[in-house]
């Protein structure tokens, strides 16, 4: 028999788990995109049941024994890395009792479903009642994980999304941003306030917007044989590498938010579609972390998508579908897409004010999980931080304030920092790609992204979880994460 029998038993178990994860991902996508409201409770229970089943398989005593015994087997470097990632998944899961896994899934499903109607109704009272249960269970989970890891409760949840990241390191990175970003934001707003811009005039029919989105996806190399585009209340990318589901939301009076939602989610999707096929079904084939995932979507949306060269390439397709109008003159269209206008909504924010939205959420969720504040404190703190960062009041406006995101509804505490980490990684990666590909800007203007995507495939996509985040970034760019590139990018584009 194969002398790596423990490792072989593990790969069979993790292949089985990935098949259940596949079902869970598609049922989850359907819940957000297609399911009639009446199916909510039954779907929540079904997904919770599936979650418990996966938890049972993963935390079986045999799995722990195989992991231990496989350490002394003769494994190549990819297999050793896979064993490391398997061990990480096992340890993350084995800490939690089954009852907590089920309770958290049910509370999250209930909170998310109610949020869909509570948010439009600005019903903070109703929402906070459900959120309190989610927070209670998330704190329970965080305490269990923190005891095992010897860290703060929040850091224990952060580690799930961003392995090896700590709030101490985030505080340093964000303190650096806070030292220069508010001033940069003010200077950009002042500069742009002297420019007269013409707004695109709608209506922009949804069916035509959808066609435009599909054309942008095609241009960006999305594989429609292994994925599709749909509509949901909150744009997302779900599914599995062999069947990636992305969504956006449309507004007939607003052309660009749906389009750039599609471009953003296509960045996520291309990463998933290009993960290492030869290892699929194994943990080593998964995306490295949420920040690396966000770096890919922001690479597509901000670094590439809002560049002058890409916008000029996109413009003829827009004019062809919606007709010529003054707003679609080259210079106006580019300026409109690069305008900086602090607003309430994170997903619609420009890239200069975006980090403010993320740091605000990070500071609130960290205090919430560490038990320094309670759910009832969130609206007041949110308003205070929005005033300080962006000069906007959200008092009484829960819908466009602390109820706007889906992340907290199912206990996704620790996810938000990955958006700004992703923006920093994206700037650093784009700069490295530009250095490696001197003809890049000309190629983008021609609509030829093949060299750029080959570079991403070589440096990020094909590696899955083979390397740690810091190794991956150092190999791709020649240095550790450095916020200087993000600062230079914003300064160059906006000032």
Strand partners, 238: 245
Determine whether 265 is an active site residue. Answer: yes
Q: Is the dihedral of CA 162, 165, 168, 171 positive or negative?
A: negative
| Whole-number Å distance between alpha carbons of 340 and 175 | 22
The alpha helices in 220-283, defined as continuous H runs, are 256-273
Q: Angle between the 206-219 and 256-273 helix axes, to the nearest 10 degrees?
A: 40
Tell me the three state secondary structure of residue 131.
helix
| Whole-number Å distance between alpha carbons of 26 and 421 | 28
Residue listed under structure tokens 């350490």: 71
Which among 172, 165, 136, 134 has a CA at the least distance from the CA of 151?
165
Residue listed under structure tokens 């423990």: 6
Point out the catalytic residue in the list 265, 272, 301, 365. Answer: 265
Binding-site annotation: residue ranges? 264, 268, 294
Q: For residue 179, what are the contacts with CB-CB under 8 A and spacing of at least 6?
A: none
Binding-site annotation: residue ranges for Zn(2+)? 264, 268, 294
- What's the 3-state SS for 432-481? HHHHHCCCHHHHHHCCCCHHHHHHHHHHCHHHCCCCCHHHHHHHHHCCCC
Q: Give the residue numbers marked as catalytic.
A: 265
């Amino acid at each position: 028999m194969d002398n790596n029998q423990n490792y072989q038993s593990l790969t069979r178990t993790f292949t089985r788990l990935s098949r259940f994860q596949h079902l869970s991902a598609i049922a989850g996508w359907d819940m957000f995109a297609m399911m009639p409201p009446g199916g909510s409770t039954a779907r929540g229970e079904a997904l919770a049941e599936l979650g418990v089943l996966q938890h049972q398989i993963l935390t079986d005593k045999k799995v722990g024994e195989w992991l231990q015994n496989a350490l002394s087997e003769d494994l190549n470097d990819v297999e050793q890395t896979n064993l490391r990632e398997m061990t990480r998944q096992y340890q993350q899961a084995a800490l939690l009792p089954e009852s907590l896994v089920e309770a958290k899934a049910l509370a999250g499903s209930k909170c998310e479903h109610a949020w869909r109607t509570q948010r439009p109704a600005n019903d903070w009272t109703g929402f906070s009642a459900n959120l309190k249960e989610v927070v209670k269970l998330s704190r329970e989970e965080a305490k269990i994980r923190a005891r095992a890891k010897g860290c703060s409760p929040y850091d224990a949840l952060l580690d799930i999304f961003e392995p090896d990241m700590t709030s101490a390191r985030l505080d340093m990175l964000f303190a650096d941003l806070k030292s220069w970003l508010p001033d940069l934001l003010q200077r950009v707003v002042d500069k742009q306030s002297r420019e007269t811009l013409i707004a695109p005039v709608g209506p922009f029919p949804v069916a035509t917007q959808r066609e435009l989105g599909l054309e942008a996806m095609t241009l960006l190399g999305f594989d429609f044989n292994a994925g599709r585009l749909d509509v949901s209340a909150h744009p997302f990318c779900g599914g599995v590498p062999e069947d990636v589901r992305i969504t956006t939301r449309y507004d007939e009076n607003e052309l660009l938010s749906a389009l750039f939602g599609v471009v953003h989610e296509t960045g996520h999707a291309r990463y998933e579609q290009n993960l290492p096929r030869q290892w699929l079904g194994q943990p080593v084939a998964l995306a490295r972390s949420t920040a690396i995932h966000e770096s890919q979507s922001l690479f597509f949306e901000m670094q590439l998508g809002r560049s002058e060269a890409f916008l000029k390439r996109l413009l003829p397709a827009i004019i062809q579908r919606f007709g010529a109008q003054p707003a679609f003159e080259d210079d106006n269209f580019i300026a409109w897409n690069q305008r900086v206008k602090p607003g309430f909504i994170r997903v619609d924010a420009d890239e200069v004010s975006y980090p403010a939205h993320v740091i605000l959420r990070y500071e609130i969720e960290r205090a919430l999980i560490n038990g320094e504040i309670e759910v009832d404190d969130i609206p007041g703190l949110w308003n205070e931080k929005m005033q300080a960062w962006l000069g906007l009041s959200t008092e009484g406006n829960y819908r466009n304030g602390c109820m706007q995101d889906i992340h907290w509804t199912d206990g996704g505490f620790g996810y938000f920092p990955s958006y700004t980490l992703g923006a920093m990684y994206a700037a650093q990666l784009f700069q490295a790609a530009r250095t490696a590909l001197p003809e890049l800007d000309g190629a983008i203007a021609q609509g030829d992204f093949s060299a750029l995507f080959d570079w991403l495939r070589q440096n990020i996509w094909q590696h899955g979880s083979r390397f740690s985040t810091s190794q991956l970034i150092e190999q791709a760019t020649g240095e550790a994460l450095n916020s200087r590139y993000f600062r230079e990018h914003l300064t160059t584009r906006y000032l």
